[in-house]
Amino acid sequence: MPADVFTDEALPRLEAAAQHAKAKPDTIERLRHAEKFVEVSIPVTMDDGSLKVFTGYRCRYSTARGPAKGGIRYHPQVNPGEVRALAFWMTFKCATVGIPFGGGKGGVIVDPRQLSKQELEALSRAYVRALAELMGPEIDVPAPDVYTNATIMGWMSSEYDTIRRGLHPGFITGKPVAKGGSLGRDDATARGGFACLSQLQHKRNWNPKDITIAIQGFGNAGQHFARLADEAGYKVVAVSDSRGGIYDPDGLDVRAAIEAKETTGKLPKQGKPIDNEQLLALDVDVLVPAALENAVTKDNVDAVKARVLIELANGPLTKDADEVLAKSETLVVPDILANAGGVTVSYFEWTQNRSGDSWKLQTVYDRLNEVMAQSFNDVYDLAQAKGLPMRTACYVHALNRLADAME
């Protein structure tokens, strides 16, 4: 685990892009620093009557292109460097896909699986009370991230409304549809990543049934990506969660795997069991890291055999691993593009909340696909034209947009 994800893994990406972008040195210097970073203590009365104080964070990295935007993560390993890095990545993600948001992120150090539903609700509401003065529809708009979901967004929305004495659905996105959420937000991250896969299919003349895919991480993004790929005829040969994975070279029964995960919380017995390291090293066409940061490091990158990597997680490759792959034949579709579908539909949700409109599911899909196809091709063409890896091209593209706003 690197000492600080922000300085070790996030900032170097800005420095690498700076040499190729039109941004002035002052702009780059501004972007090396978050606008605001806040730590709060969050007291919660537990079910047994005892008091537990949790630590929470919110980082408003940039508002140069619009209100800060980004999820709230509940995880035992949340730390200030990670929150800052994630907020930095949100800034570049929103600029990549051209939605009018800056970047932010929040987190709480907690294992939510250890809390009862009541405790989880109390924690979520208390997080909003601790930070309400810094967040809002026109300044910083939170959303779900790792181990947070629509129900938690609903509680947070309700708490914000109580504090503000009014209804402000645009305060937070990823809400339940009945509470002002958008149709299509639940699988938006996966759908955006899948749109990248579809663009590659056209460019490389793929026949989906010949293309093998391995997915590391079987949470929201990983499961939906597996489903979409399976429905489109791709061969999903391996999936894994934090406990390990399953592998069948002839293709898994994806539907059964999702159902087992939903009902038992575990992957079913299918094909043969593999661990996460074996999954990352499989000889597949497409590898999809969809779990946490730093899945592929300098220690295991040489084992990666996939021809294409689609980063559905945030920061799944360390800088060192990335440098190795950049010199290889492997094409890496970077996180700030590949997983931008989630925040894009968050933008649609925020837009609907502010206009009072509600879009049909197909409208959400069509607009999302339009944004993703355009962004993918902008980045792909820039990478080709400048002879850059897709990640650097993506940062250059985003940086040019940030510079336009800042200068």
Q: Distance (Å, rounded) from C-alpha 232 to C-alpha 174?
A: 26
Measured from the CB atom, is 284 or 345 closer to ligand GLU? Answer: 345
Q: Distance (Å, rounded) from C-alpha 271 to C-alpha 102?
A: 44
Contact 148, 127 (CB under 8 A): no
Nearest residue to ligand GLU, using CB?
71
Catalytic residue among 105, 175, 235, 261: 105
Residue 314 Cβ, how far from ligand GLU at the closest point, in Å? 5
Residues engaged in binding ligand GLU (CB under 6 A)? 69-71, 143, 145, 173-174, 314, 339, 342-343, 346
Measured from the CB atom, is 66 or 71 closer to ligand GLU? Answer: 71
**Within 313-360, where are the H helices?**
319-326, 335-338, 341-355
- Residues with Cβ within 8 Å of residue 206, at least 6 apart in sequence: 200, 285
Closest listed residue to residue 361, CA positions, set 169, 182, 198? 182
Q: Distance (Å, rounded) from C-alpha 337 to C-alpha 332?
A: 11
Residue 145 Cβ, how far from ligand GLU at the closest point, in Å? 4
Measured from the CB atom, is 69 or 397 closer to ligand GLU? Answer: 69
Torsion of CA 203, 205, 210, 216, to 10 degrees: 0
Residue 340 Cβ, how far from ligand GLU at the closest point, in Å? 7
Residue 332, classified by CB atoms within 10 Å of its CB into exposed (0-12), middle (13-18) or buried (19+), is buried
22 is catalytic: no
Measured from the CB atom, is 152 or 282 closer to ligand GLU? Answer: 152
Measured from the CB atom, is 106 or 245 closer to ligand GLU? Answer: 106
Q: How many CB atoms neighbour CB 151 within 10 A?
A: 16
Q: How many CB atoms neighbour CB 178 within 10 A?
A: 8
Residue 189 Cβ, how far from ligand GLU at the closest point, in Å? 7
Residue 343 Cβ, how far from ligand GLU at the closest point, in Å? 4
Measured from the CB atom, is 145 or 293 closer to ligand GLU? Answer: 145
Residue 71 Cβ, how far from ligand GLU at the closest point, in Å? 3
Beta strands in 234-374 (DSSP E): 235-241, 244-247, 272-274, 286-289, 308-310, 331-333
Kindly state the tokens that stand for 284: 């597949």
Main-chain phi, psi angles of 21, to 5 degrees: -100, 165
Edge-to-edge strand ranges of the sheet holding 331-333: 272-274, 244-247, 235-241, 212-216, 286-289, 308-310, 331-333
- Residues annotated as catalytic are 105
